[in-house]
Amino acid sequence: MTQSDPHDVLLSHEMLAPMEGVLSSAGYRVHRLWEQKDILAFLAGPGQTVRAIVHAGEIRLKPGLLADMPRLGLIACVSVGYDGVDVPWCRDHGIAVTHSTGLNAGDVADHAVGLLLAVWRGLVEGDNRLRAGRWTHSDRMRPRHSLRGKTAGIVGLGHIGEAVARRLEAFEMPIAWWGPRPKASRWRRADSLLALARESDALIVCARGDANGLISAPVIDAVGPRGCIINISRGQVIDEDALIDALKSGRLGMAGLDVFAEEPTPPARWVDVPNTVLTPHTAGGTLESIPQMVAMTLENLRRFFKGEPLATPVGG
C-alpha cells in the first residue's frame, strides 16, 4: 500500500474513534460510519470502495448494510467478542471475520474476581456507609461469609473462564464448570448448566456473547438466596428482567455485573435493586490489553491487504 493509493477502511462505532489516527498513520483512508447522516448516499459513494470494517464486536452489524459494500472482504473486530457479527452470513458472502482472541482474558478475569469480592464481602456498601457517616461499632458484629470453601461455578471454560478458575483456586474455592462442549480440564464439568447453578455459591458467567438468554430464570433461582451471579460475558446472556426480579424478591442473594442488556444501562433500572455491584463494561479494557488488541487488529488488516493468512480468524 502506498500513500497515493490507500485502502478504504470503515470504523463502525464512535467508541473506536481513537483508532482513526493509528489507521491513518498506517496509510489507510478512514471513514466513520456514525457520522454518515445519509447512509444510502454513503453506500452509493465511499461505501463502494470500503474493503474492511474495523468493528467493536458486540455492536450489531446488519447484513443489509454489508451487502451494499461490494468490495468488503474483512470485518476486523478489535474486541475478543464478535457476537454482533453474523459470521455464517459473512462466510457465505466471502467476508472474513477476525477478533483479538485471548488478549485480555487475564484482565477480564481480574475484574470478575474483583466483582465477586466486592459484592460478597460488601466492599462498596461498606465504603458508602463510612463516607456517609453511618459507621457504627455494631457493623463489625454483622459478619459475612468467607469465600473459602464455597463452590465457584464457571459458565464457559474458554480463555477467560480458565483464567477465572485459576484465580479462584487461590481463594481455596472448589471449582466446577459447564459448557455446551466437553473439553479436557483439571476441573470437573457439571452434568448440566442447571446442575452447576444448584451447586454453586458463586456462578461466574464467562460464556460466549451469542448465548442469548442462557442464564434464565430457572438458572438464577437455582443459585438461590445465598448465592451470587457475576457476569463479565455479555448482557444478553442473562435474562436481566428475571435477574432483577430475583434480587428484589430475595430469591437471588447477590450479583456483580459489568455488562447489561442495554448499554449504557438506564441508572433508574438499578436504583432499588439490592446487593449489587455494577461497573460500566470496563473489564476488558486496560492500558496493557488495549494496545495489544489494536496491534492484533492492525496485523489482521495488514495480512488481509497483503493476501496472507489472517492471524486470528473467527473459527480458525
Separation between Cα atoms, residue 44 and residue 197, nearest integer Å: 51
Phi, psi of 163 (to 5 degrees): -65, -40
3 state SS of 123:
helix
63: Cβ contacts below 8 Å, ≥ 6 apart: 86, 89, 93
Separation between Cα atoms, residue 117 and residue 151, nearest integer Å: 14
Separation between Cα atoms, residue 115 and residue 248, nearest integer Å: 19
Order of strands, edge to edge, in the sheet holding 228-231? Answer: 188-189, 175-178, 152-155, 202-205, 228-231, 254-257, 276-278
- Give the closest residue to 197 by CA, choosing from 245, 160, 239, 252: 252
Separation between Cα atoms, residue 165 and residue 161, nearest integer Å: 6
263 is catalytic: yes
Residue type present at position 147:
L
- Give the closest residue to 294 by CA, choosing from 152, 147, 98: 98
CA angle, 47 as apex, 43 and 53 as ends, to 5°?
Answer: 120
3 state SS of 89:
helix
281 is catalytic: yes
Which residue carries 470437573 as its cell? 188
51 is catalytic: no
The x, y and z cell numbers of residue 58, run together, are 458486540
Q: Which of 14, 35, 262, 263 is catalytic?
A: 263
Helix (H) or strand (E) segment spanning residue 246: helix 240-249
Q: Which of 234, 269, 299, 302 is catalytic?
A: 234
The residues carrying an active-site annotation are 234, 263, 281
